[in-house]
Amino acid sequence: MKKRGMSVVVTTLIIILLVIVAIAIIWVVVKNLLTKGAGQIELAQKCRDVDFTVKKVVGVSEDYTITLSRTSAGENSTGVIVVLSDGTAYSKPIDFGYKFMPLATHTNLTIDATKVLKATQIEMTAYFENDKGGEDLCPNSIVEEF
Protein backbone atom coordinates (compact mmCIF):
# COMPACT_ATOMS: atom_id res chain seq x y z
CA MET A 1 0.00 0.00 0.00
CA LYS A 2 0.99 3.53 -0.71
CA LYS A 3 1.14 5.97 2.15
CA ARG A 4 -0.53 9.26 1.47
CA GLY A 5 0.14 12.46 3.42
CA MET A 6 -1.47 15.85 3.33
CA SER A 7 -0.44 17.88 0.40
CA VAL A 8 1.66 21.00 0.86
CA VAL A 9 -1.20 23.19 -0.37
CA VAL A 10 -3.65 21.90 2.26
CA THR A 11 -1.05 22.31 5.01
CA THR A 12 -0.33 25.87 3.92
CA LEU A 13 -4.04 26.76 3.86
CA ILE A 14 -4.55 25.36 7.38
CA ILE A 15 -1.61 27.39 8.72
CA ILE A 16 -2.89 30.57 7.03
CA LEU A 17 -6.38 30.04 8.49
CA LEU A 18 -4.94 29.49 11.99
CA VAL A 19 -2.91 32.70 11.71
CA ILE A 20 -5.99 34.66 10.59
CA VAL A 21 -8.04 33.29 13.52
CA ALA A 22 -5.23 34.16 15.97
CA ILE A 23 -5.01 37.72 14.59
CA ALA A 24 -8.79 38.14 14.88
CA ILE A 25 -8.78 36.99 18.52
CA ILE A 26 -5.90 39.31 19.43
CA TRP A 27 -7.60 42.25 17.63
CA VAL A 28 -10.84 41.78 19.59
CA VAL A 29 -8.94 41.83 22.91
CA VAL A 30 -6.86 44.88 21.95
CA LYS A 31 -9.91 46.75 20.63
CA ASN A 32 -11.81 46.17 23.90
CA LEU A 33 -8.86 47.43 25.93
CA LEU A 34 -8.55 50.56 23.80
CA THR A 35 -12.29 51.27 23.95
CA LYS A 36 -12.43 50.96 27.74
CA GLY A 37 -9.34 53.13 28.12
CA ALA A 38 -10.80 55.82 25.87
CA GLY A 39 -14.00 55.92 27.93
CA GLN A 40 -12.04 56.35 31.15
CA ILE A 41 -9.95 59.13 29.62
CA GLU A 42 -13.11 60.91 28.42
CA LEU A 43 -14.68 60.67 31.90
CA ALA A 44 -11.49 61.92 33.55
CA GLN A 45 -11.45 64.93 31.19
CA LYS A 46 -15.09 65.77 32.00
CA CYS A 47 -14.46 65.39 35.72
CA ARG A 48 -11.36 67.57 35.72
CA ASP A 49 -13.36 70.51 34.38
CA VAL A 50 -16.17 70.31 36.98
CA ASP A 51 -15.81 72.17 40.27
CA PHE A 52 -18.30 72.76 43.08
CA THR A 53 -18.14 75.14 46.01
CA VAL A 54 -20.17 75.23 49.20
CA LYS A 55 -22.00 78.53 49.57
CA LYS A 56 -23.91 77.82 52.77
CA VAL A 57 -24.64 74.98 55.21
CA VAL A 58 -27.28 75.21 57.92
CA GLY A 59 -27.69 72.24 60.23
CA VAL A 60 -30.48 71.50 62.67
CA SER A 61 -29.93 68.17 64.45
CA GLU A 62 -29.49 65.62 61.64
CA ASP A 63 -31.11 67.71 58.88
CA TYR A 64 -28.99 70.03 56.78
CA THR A 65 -29.79 72.71 54.24
CA ILE A 66 -26.89 72.98 51.80
CA THR A 67 -26.33 75.48 49.01
CA LEU A 68 -23.84 74.45 46.33
CA SER A 69 -22.55 76.40 43.37
CA ARG A 70 -20.81 75.20 40.21
CA THR A 71 -18.12 76.99 38.23
CA SER A 72 -18.45 77.86 34.54
CA ALA A 73 -16.19 75.13 33.17
CA GLY A 74 -17.15 71.62 32.13
CA GLU A 75 -19.99 69.64 30.65
CA ASN A 76 -23.64 70.55 31.00
CA SER A 77 -25.92 68.70 33.39
CA THR A 78 -23.70 67.37 36.14
CA GLY A 79 -25.11 65.68 39.20
CA VAL A 80 -23.40 65.62 42.58
CA ILE A 81 -23.40 63.16 45.46
CA VAL A 82 -22.60 64.53 48.91
CA VAL A 83 -21.35 62.91 52.11
CA LEU A 84 -21.36 64.88 55.36
CA SER A 85 -18.84 64.19 58.11
CA ASP A 86 -17.92 65.36 61.58
CA GLY A 87 -14.42 63.90 61.32
CA THR A 88 -15.28 60.45 62.68
CA ALA A 89 -18.78 59.60 61.44
CA TYR A 90 -20.00 59.82 57.86
CA SER A 91 -23.47 60.11 56.41
CA LYS A 92 -24.60 57.79 53.68
CA PRO A 93 -23.97 59.10 50.14
CA ILE A 94 -26.86 61.35 49.14
CA ASP A 95 -27.72 62.52 45.65
CA PHE A 96 -28.06 66.29 45.93
CA GLY A 97 -31.19 66.15 43.80
CA TYR A 98 -30.34 68.66 41.08
CA LYS A 99 -28.48 68.58 37.79
CA PHE A 100 -26.07 71.50 37.80
CA MET A 101 -25.50 73.53 34.67
CA PRO A 102 -22.39 75.75 34.53
CA LEU A 103 -22.66 78.70 36.96
CA ALA A 104 -25.75 77.21 38.62
CA THR A 105 -26.48 77.46 42.35
CA HIS A 106 -28.97 75.16 44.04
CA THR A 107 -30.19 74.61 47.60
CA ASN A 108 -31.27 71.24 48.90
CA LEU A 109 -33.67 71.68 51.81
CA THR A 110 -33.74 68.20 53.29
CA ILE A 111 -30.50 66.28 53.52
CA ASP A 112 -30.79 63.76 56.33
CA ALA A 113 -27.33 62.95 57.69
CA THR A 114 -28.17 60.28 60.23
CA LYS A 115 -25.22 59.45 62.52
CA VAL A 116 -23.66 62.90 61.93
CA LEU A 117 -24.91 65.36 64.56
CA LYS A 118 -22.47 68.22 63.97
CA ALA A 119 -21.02 67.92 60.50
CA THR A 120 -17.93 70.01 59.78
CA GLN A 121 -17.06 68.92 56.27
CA ILE A 122 -18.74 67.94 53.05
CA GLU A 123 -17.39 65.64 50.35
CA MET A 124 -18.82 66.23 46.86
CA THR A 125 -18.47 63.75 43.99
CA ALA A 126 -19.70 64.77 40.55
CA TYR A 127 -21.30 62.28 38.18
CA PHE A 128 -22.47 62.17 34.59
CA GLU A 129 -25.23 60.11 33.04
CA ASN A 130 -23.88 57.59 30.56
CA ASP A 131 -25.47 56.28 27.35
CA LYS A 132 -27.08 53.37 29.20
CA GLY A 133 -28.90 55.63 31.66
CA GLY A 134 -26.53 54.86 34.54
CA GLU A 135 -24.20 57.15 36.44
CA ASP A 136 -20.45 57.47 35.86
CA LEU A 137 -18.91 58.76 39.09
CA CYS A 138 -15.86 60.97 38.87
CA PRO A 139 -12.79 59.37 40.43
CA ASN A 140 -11.92 62.49 42.42
CA SER A 141 -13.96 64.19 45.13
CA ILE A 142 -13.97 67.74 46.45
CA VAL A 143 -13.78 68.05 50.23
CA GLU A 144 -14.57 71.36 51.94
CA GLU A 145 -14.71 72.35 55.60
CA PHE A 146 -17.53 74.56 56.76
Give the whole-angstrom CA distance, residue 12 versus residue 125. Answer: 58
Comparing C-alpha atoms, which of 100, 113, 18, 90 is closest to residue 67? 100
**Mean pLDDT (whole number) for 38-51:** 81
Q: Is the pLDDT of residue 117 over 80?
A: no
Say whether pTM exceeds 0.75: no
Q: What is the pLDDT of residues 70-111, one digit of tens each?
A: 988 877 788 999 998 888 888 889 899 889 999 999 998 677
How far is it, in rounded angstroms, from Cα 63 to Cα 94? Answer: 12
Sequence-distant (6+) residues with CB within 8 A of 18 are none
Percent of the chain scored above 70 by pLDDT? 92
pLDDT value, residue 18: 97
CA 26 – CA 109 distance, rounded (Å): 54
CATH number for region 50-145:
2.60.60
Ordered by start, the domain boundaries in the chain are 50-145
Instruction: Please report which confidence band the pLDDT of residue 25 belongs to, taking 50, 70 and 90 as the band edges.
Output: very high
